[in-house]
Structure 1
Amino acid sequence: MSEEEVDALLRKVDAESRTRKLSPFWSKAVTVIAILFTSFQLYTAIFGALSPQVQRSIHLSFAMLLGFILYPMRRGKMDSKINPIDLLLIASSIFTSVYWLLYFKDIVYRVGDITAMDFAVGIIAIITVLEATRRVVGYPVLILASISLIYCYLGAFFPSFFQHRGFSLNRIVRHMYLSTEGILGVPIGVVSTFVFLFLLFGAFLKRTGVGQFFNDFANALTGKAVGGPAKVAVISSALQGTISGSSIANVAASGSFTIPLMKKCGYEPEFAAAVEASASTGGQIMPPVMGAAAFLMAEFTGVPYWSVALAAAIPAVLYFTGIFISVDLEARKLGLRGVQGEEVQSLLTVLKTRGILFAPIIVIVVTMSSGMTAMRAGLLGILSAILCGSLYKEHRLKLRDYAEVFVEAAKTAIGVAIVSGSAGIVVGMVTLTGLGLKLGTGLVELAGGNLIMTLVLAMVSSLVLGMGVPTTANYVITSTIVSPALIELGVPVIAAHLFVFYFGIIADITPPVCSAVFTGSAIAGSDTLKSGVCATRIAVGAFIIPYMFVLSPQLVLVDASFLQLLRIIPTALIGMYMLSSATNGWMRCRALWFERILLAFGGVMLIDSGALTDLIGIGCFVLIFLWQGYRIKKASARHAA
């Protein structure tokens, strides 16, 4: 697909891509505002952030200002005309930030007292954020934020379990806008500092050719293997996920290359779309960025960022290994070959000519692991991307290119910032009403105090809450509402947060919403529902891995020793292989019905790291492996005769 076709597809399936066609004046205005936005973020990253409320309000105001210019009032109408309502909202975006700049000391010194002017500005700010959310992100987050505000005010009228005394409008406005517990809370705080730099880092990587290099590297590594194009999709999406903040964008970027290749090699359109969607969705759980969730998780859990990235690494590798296994088994079942002829460069050629483009990712990893702050690591990553790109004439940046990168980063930040503001309303509701504790206790009571049942309920809750919700808000909502139940039962904090985050992300490939699958299906020309079911089957490991690291916290490096990991990781991989074999109906040969049952049973046994369950699971694996070997030998003898 051409770049224009990819853009058209994104506008069709992704709310954040449905921008209007602007007149020359407003188009130039967007460019200027976006460059100012990025310049402000770079300045504060280099010389130090402003006070939290001022830094966050300016960041959010820039995002809303751009949002009201770029996104039309009626979401389906891509008109270029800026109407009076747009102008009013643009003015309110600026005004709410200027108010904090002018009266910051007064607001802080009043220590919770709220004046009539504070109240008016707070109401304007809340309405502006909600309208920006509707335009840019869509209705799911808007509805959740609106219900949160209603619940704060009318708590006395809710059923007994949810009931609270209710709060005055003054108290709600003060909490939601004049404190750091609501709109200007932790989510927008993280986005306005660390996350923006990594969005800028990603924009520089794309401009310096790293995205294409990832595709070429994956193609060279596995393109000629059995089912090569599908394996290319898995590896490419894992690499793209290190810098991508969206499952949908990841599908569009790598899927336009991998899906046609898969179809050409004999994969059904539904399977091709499903592979790309499940692999691209996995990019959101791949460190170091994890769709900005890694930074938020560090703030919410109090765990250092680098520890979060390390904790997420093994589960992410298991996720992609599971998809890789499913792809390999499907290819062997269908007898599919890899890409033939001159279409694939050798791995040595790719690494010799452009291997240096791995350097920016290595810089980020090394600087983070050395204890450097995320902001400094992001700045060094940006610098290394520019230097690496300058080694290649076609990727050497000119002044115009820098301006375009600044604009791209600012546009990417619009949705992240606005959804963080709305997610802050949800967090503010939870902290004001104490709902998080109630829901946690309620889930535990509903499950009768049983950990497995609580995990199942938490899984279902996270899947529902994650449907149609961008990655950042997804994590904020699921971690705030669902994770307290798991923590109450003694699940380690990092494992509880990763559990709900994983299932919130998997909603992108779980029917009926499955937004990532819609994108893949549009490229493949496949049936969306069939692709969604297929994606769920391919990513079956994603539904198992969270249970693994809750029952075996060593997988997320909680009290883990090298010897424990040496036992747990191989058994986890065998379990993934068995479950993939069961769902695909193929191991060494086509699996009979009772073999699939035994494979599934053995795979489930290997979820728990106990010695007995491991022995049972491995016993099932060995039994099926030998039995299928006997069947193959018998069939060969019969064929020879």
Structure 2
Amino acid sequence: AHDAGAIEAVASTGGQLMPPIMGAAAFLMAEFLQIEYSEVVLAALIPSILYYVALFVQADLEAVRSNLARVPEDQIPAPGPVLKSGWYFPIPFAALIIALFIFNYSPEASALYSAVIIVVLGMILGYRGKRIGLPDIFDAIRQTGITVIDIVMIGGAVGIVIGVLNISGLGFGLTLFLVEIAGGNMLTLLVVSAIVCIILGMGMPTVGVYVLLATLVAPALIEVGVHEIAAHMFIMYFGMMSMITPPVAIGAFAAATLTGADPMRTGFAAMRFGWLAFVIPFMFVGSQTLLMVGDPVMIAIDFVGAVIGAWFVSVAMMGHFKTRLGPVGRLLFAVSGIGLLTPLDAVPGADMANLVGLAIAIGIFINEYILRPRRAQPG
């Protein structure tokens, strides 16, 4: 049960990091950096894909390792009736994407147009024999107002905190303090900043987390030469990871309530399933190719290597590939995965790490898909 809750928590937390429609923090990032939302989406694309690759591989291997059977055929609904009953559901989503990325409308206007389309479709077509009426529209408006009030209250409280920090100079002092602790060492600063982001983010909603971290932590990263969008993506990732990091992992605890599992055990399992989110921010700070910045060829090479690397490290963590792995097998998968995960220009020696990882990966594929089947054949 705790694994099921952990997978749910990691998957739902990642939804705020996954384009094309990310969490509210991504829209705030565009405002902070004075860039188009589409640029934030582009930067977030590769990290979010890697995030879900690692989660999918681990969830799949956990199911195999636990001998979970697939859903019986007679319980799987036929695709025809399902598509026929809800063929129009993608229309509002498509309208939102088109408004945001083709017509470059503001997020507010795009959401409004999409909402109008939802209401019109609900009134005309409905779903399963029920159409939206005026009482439903009024109820939706009321619930929207309640949600907006919560966001405004959070924003107001965070604004007061930020105002006090700026007036008193504490915000600037924290920036200097972080830089001084690091002593000019980039890795130390990143580790300390990650810890600060997780601690400050515990128990807070995502909007408040991002605004606070963008004011307190991001300036320290930018001060030592981190690319602006990389710095803000870094704090957003670790701010979000507070949702699945004990002792205050509100995302994992909510999932534990649904599954009836122990909250702390679910939280630690969520950290295991979401391991890549704790690693990839360091990767894209070291190399902006994972943020879609730079030469397209290098971006493609780093992306493919990172996908295989995320897959292999996940296999090593689960201890299962086509069969259960021994210590040597797990070590080989881990070394290969770490080597391939390292972007080519992230650190000195990254190219050699990639070559070693690639060589081991080729050896693994040859053994698992060519040699092992041959050995299994009789005669």
What's the TM-score, normalizing by structure 1? 0.55
**Distance in structure 2 (CA, Å) of the matches to 1:296 and 1:396:** 35
**Residue equivalent to 1:330:** 62
1:568 deviation in Å?
A: 1.7
Give the equivalent residue in structure 2 for 1:165. none
Confirm or deny that 1:527 pairs with 2:262: yes
**1:433 partner letter:** S
1:383 aligned to which of 110, 116, 135: 116
Q: Give the CA deviation at 1:632.
A: 5.0
Q: Select 1:408's aligned residue among 139, 143, 167.
A: 143
Instruction: Tell me the residue number matched to 2:348.
Output: none
Aligned length: 370
The AA in structure 1 aligned to 2:343 is S
Task: For 2:370 and 2:168, locate their aligned partners in 1 and report how far apart those are by CA, in whole Å.
Answer: 63
Residue of structure 1 equivalent to 2:359:
619
- For 1:127-276, list aligned pairs within 5 A: 269-276=1-8
Corresponding residue of 2:332: 598
In the alignment, which residue of structure 2 is the partner of 1:444?
179
Alignment of 1:462 onto 2:202: no
Give the letter for the 1:488 counterpart. Answer: E
Among 363, 367, 379, the residue aligned to 2:99 = 367
Q: CA RMSD in A?
A: 2.3
For 1:387, the aligned partner's letter is V
Letter in 2 for 1:350: V
The answer to whether 1:487 aligns with 2:222 is yes
The corresponding residue for 1:286 is 18
Question: Secondary structure, in 3 states, of the residue corresponding to 1:285?
Answer: coil
State how far apart, in whole Å, the 1-side matches of 2:199 and 2:207 are.
Answer: 16
Matches within 5 A, 1:491-640: 491-558=226-293, 560-610=294-344, 611-628=351-368, 632-633=372-373, 636=376
Alignment-mate amino acid for residue 273 of structure 1: G
8 A Cα contact 1:287 1:294, kept in partner:
no
For residue 395 of structure 1, report the CA deviation from its aligned partner.
Answer: 4.8
Structure 1 residues 461 and 352: alpha-carbon distance in aligned structure 2, compared to 1, 3 A threshold: same
The 1:573/1:443 distance shift into structure 2, 3 A limit, reads same
Greater Cα offset, 303-312 or 461-470:
303-312
Q: Secondary structure at the match of 1:290?
A: coil
Corresponding residue of 1:298: 30
Q: Tell whether the 8 Å contact from 2:166 to 2:172 is kept in structure 1 after alignment.
A: no
Unaligned runs of 5+ in 2: 345-350
Matched-pair contact (CA < 8 Å) for 2:126–2:132:
no
Shift of 1:323: 0.8
Change (3 A) 1:626 1:426: farther
1:465/1:474 contact within 8 Å kept: yes
Q: Quick check: 1:541–1:579 contact (8 Å CA) kept in 2?
A: no
Q: Distance in 1 between matches of 2:199 and 2:372?
A: 44
Q: CA separation in 1, counterparts of 2:37 and 2:369? A: 47
Counterpart of 1:469 in 2: which secondary structure?
A: coil
Distance apart, 1:279 and its partner CA: 0.6
Residues 115-134 of structure 1 aligned to structure 2 (within 5 Å): none
**Amino acid in structure 2 at the alignment position of 1:529:** M
CA distance in 2, matches of 1:294, 1:535: 23
The percentage of counterpart residues that share the same residue type is: 36
Alpha-carbon deviation of 1:418? 0.9
Q: 1:381 to 1:442 in 2, by over 3 A?
A: same
Q: In structure 2, what residue type is equivalent to 1:613?
A: A
Q: What secondary structure is seen at the aligned counterpart in 1 of 2:238?
A: helix
* SS of residue matched to 1:606: helix
Give the number of the structure whose alpha-carbon radius of gyration is greater.
1
Query: How much does 1:627 deviate?
Result: 4.6
1:357 aligned to which of 85, 89, 111: 89
CA distance in 2 between partners of 1:561 and 1:355 (Å): 39
Unaligned runs of at least 5 residues, structure 1: 1-268
- The answer to whether the aligner puts 1:342 opposite 2:77 as a matched pair is no
SS class of match (2:178): helix
Which whole-Å CA distance do the structure 2 matches of 1:620 and 1:488 have between them?
39
Question: What letter matches 2:304 in structure 1?
Answer: P
Question: For 2:167, what is the secondary structure of its paired residue?
Answer: helix
Do 1:436 and 1:484's aligned partners in 2 also have CA atoms closer than 8 Å?
no
Structure-2 separation of matches of 1:402 and 1:332: 45
Q: 3-state SS of the aligned residue for 1:338? A: coil
Question: Do 1:508 and 1:514's aligned partners in 2 also have CA atoms closer than 8 Å?
Answer: yes
More divergent stretch after superposition (543-552 vs 604-613): 604-613
Give per-residue Cα distances to partners, 1:253-303, cap 9 Å, x unaligned.
Answer: xxxxxxxxxxxxxxxx11111111111111121234533112211111112
In the aligned structure 2, how far is the partner of 1:426 from the partner of 1:602? 45
Structure 1 residues 373, 621: CA separation in 2 closer, same or farther (over 3 Å shift)?
Answer: same
| Cα deviations by residue, 1:155-178 (Å, 9 ceiling, x for unpaired) | xxxxxxxxxxxxxxxxxxxxxxxx
Question: TM-score, with normalisation over the residues of structure 2?
Answer: 0.90
Amino acid in structure 1 at the alignment position of 2:328: F
Bigger relative contact order, structure 1 or 2 (CA pairs below 8 A, ≥6 apart): 2
What is the Cα deviation at residue 348 of structure 1?
4.5
**Aligned residue in 2 for 1:430:** 165
User: Could you say what secondary structure the match of 2:16 adopts?
Assistant: helix
Distance 1:544 1:595 in 2: 22
In 1: Cα distance, 2:83 partner to 2:279 partner: 35
